[in-house]
Amino acid sequence: MRRLRQFTARFVVARATGAPTLARAAATCVVLAALAARSAAADSPAATLPLYQLLLTNGQALTSYGEYARVGDRVVFTTPIGDVRGQPRLHMASVPAALVDWVATERSRDAVRAARYADTRGEADYTALGAELTRLLDGIVGAPDDGRRLALAEEARRLLAEWPGGHYGYRADDVREMLLLVDEVIAGLRAARGEQRFSVDLTASTVPAPAPPRVRLPTLQESVGQALFLSTVAATPADRVSLLESVHDLLVAKTRELISACPCEQGCPSCVGPAGETGSRAKEVALAVLERLMVT
Ligand SMILES: [Zn+2]
């Protein structure tokens, strides 16, 4: 902010003293430095998984792996039902659209999209904005008259005002600060031209950045709860059976993982029971039985 104010001050001084070269260099350096400083201050966090949430009117949250789609009166999505060795098991599912709290769901979706944009293209686009802004500033400083300067400043203002809305609110606060500085420049130029009416459209019109997303893979218990709920609102009996089979297989797989991972040799109270009660082959037999219980 201080640097950008410095830019404005230098710009105004340069205009008054007729030193366009110095002003151009100062303006360019200061804006680029401000952009670079902000870039370093906001290094992107670790990339997030493309997980979204369907928030229902009953307060329940359903996890969607990737974006959901509205098809007729239902919402179709891929839901993770547990994981096997760290890999989520994915299942197609759908819920009636009428059960969805669309305001909350779309707010959550926008936040996830914004986070993914920030992690991917955000910084490159912001750098491109800086380059375009610098080009306009160079034009302002080198312009032959105030009329041309004003036109370029207004173009810069339009660019800044429209940017957050088309870029998921990325760096909206930074852009708003730059916008206010450009407003000051515009006000000065209009005053110099003797214009009296220049306060109407000088209000910053940027949108606030969405709240950070908090979507994560569901726990085993949450996965089972979501899948059982989805089975009660499934579109067809086949869909319902398929969901229940997935829950069944998940529980069997997790039980096998638990028994396999137990450090005992022949069974203990933490897995299949004490070897003295269940026999010396209890672990081996339990794992064989569980393998045959898998539906898919
Ligand atoms: Zn054990």
Q: Tens of pLDDT along 166-176?
A: 998 899 889 99
Residue 37 in any domain: the answer is yes
- Tell me: do 36 and 128 sit in the same domain: yes
Residue 265 burial (C-beta neighbours within 10 Å; 0-12, 13-18, 19+): exposed
Domain limits for position 281:
237-293
Give yes or no for a contact between 158 and 200, defined as CB atoms under 8 angstroms apart. Answer: no
Q: How far is the CA of 86 from the centre of ligand 1 (A)?
A: 22
Tell me, what's the pLDDT at 45? 33
Q: What is the pLDDT of residues 28-51, one digit of tens each?
A: 434 433 444 444 433 333 334 689
Give the Cα separation of 286 and 254 in Å (integer).
13
The answer to whether residues 176 and 137 belong to one domain is: yes
Mean pLDDT score of the chain? 80
- Tell me, yes or no, whether 205 lies in a domain: no
Give the helix ranges, DSSP H, for 195-266.
220-232, 237-261
Tell whether 188 and 126 lie within a shared domain: yes
Cα–ligand 1 centroid distance for 259 (angstroms): 6
Distances from the Cα of 296 to the Cαs of 53, 61, 247, in angstroms?
27, 27, 11
**Paired tokens of 294:** 């898998």
Share of residues in the chain with pLDDT > 70 (%) = 77
Residues 101 and 152 in one domain: no
| pLDDT higher than threshold 50 for residue 66 | yes
In this prediction, residue 197 carries a pLDDT of 59
> Is position 200 within any domain?
no
Q: How far is the CA of 188 from the centre of ligand 1 (A)?
A: 79
Question: How many whole angstroms from 275 Cα to the centroid of ligand 1?
Answer: 9
Q: Do 139 and 165 fall into the same domain?
A: yes
Which amino acid, residue 197? R
Are residues 275 and 131 part of one domain? no
Q: What is the pLDDT of residue 251?
A: 92
In a domain? residue 208: no
Same domain membership, residue 151 and residue 38: yes
The verdict on 59 and 39 lying in the same domain is no
pLDDT for residue 211 is more than 80? no
pLDDT of residue 59: 93
Tokens linked to 284: 């081996």
Look at residue 203 and tell me if it is in a domain.
no
With a pLDDT cut of 90, the percent of the chain lying above it is 45
In a domain? residue 209: no
Pair (37, 145) in one structural domain: yes
pLDDT range class, residue 210, cuts 50, 70, 90: low
Q: Give 107 Cα–ligand 1 centroid separation in angstroms.
A: 46
Do residue 132 and residue 163 come from a single domain?
Answer: yes
pLDDT at 196: 64
What is the reported pLDDT for 294? 80
- What is the CA(279)–ligand 1 centre distance, in A? 13
Number of structural domains found in the chain = 3
Region 276-295 average pLDDT: 87
Q: Kindly tell me if the per-residue pLDDT of 23 is higher than 50.
A: no
Asked whether residue 25 carries a pLDDT value surpassing 80, the answer given is: no
Residues 31 and 148 in one domain: yes
Query: What average pLDDT does this structure show over 199-215?
Result: 55
Q: How confident is residue 85, by pLDDT bands cut at 50, 70 and 90?
A: confident
In sequence order, what E strands does the chain have? 51-55, 61-65, 69-71, 74-84, 87-96
State in Å: Cα 257 to ligand 1 middle: 11
Mean pLDDT throughout 80-93? 84
Centre of ligand 1 to C-alpha 53, Å, is: 37
For residue range 235-279, list pLDDT tens digits in order: 999 999 999 999 999 999 999 999 999 999 888 999 999 888 888
Q: How far is the CA of 284 from the centre of ligand 1 (A)?
A: 11
**Mean pLDDT across the stretch 91-104?**
96
> Do both 149 and 259 map to the same domain?
no
How far does the centroid of ligand 1 lie from the alpha carbon of residue 262, in Å?
5
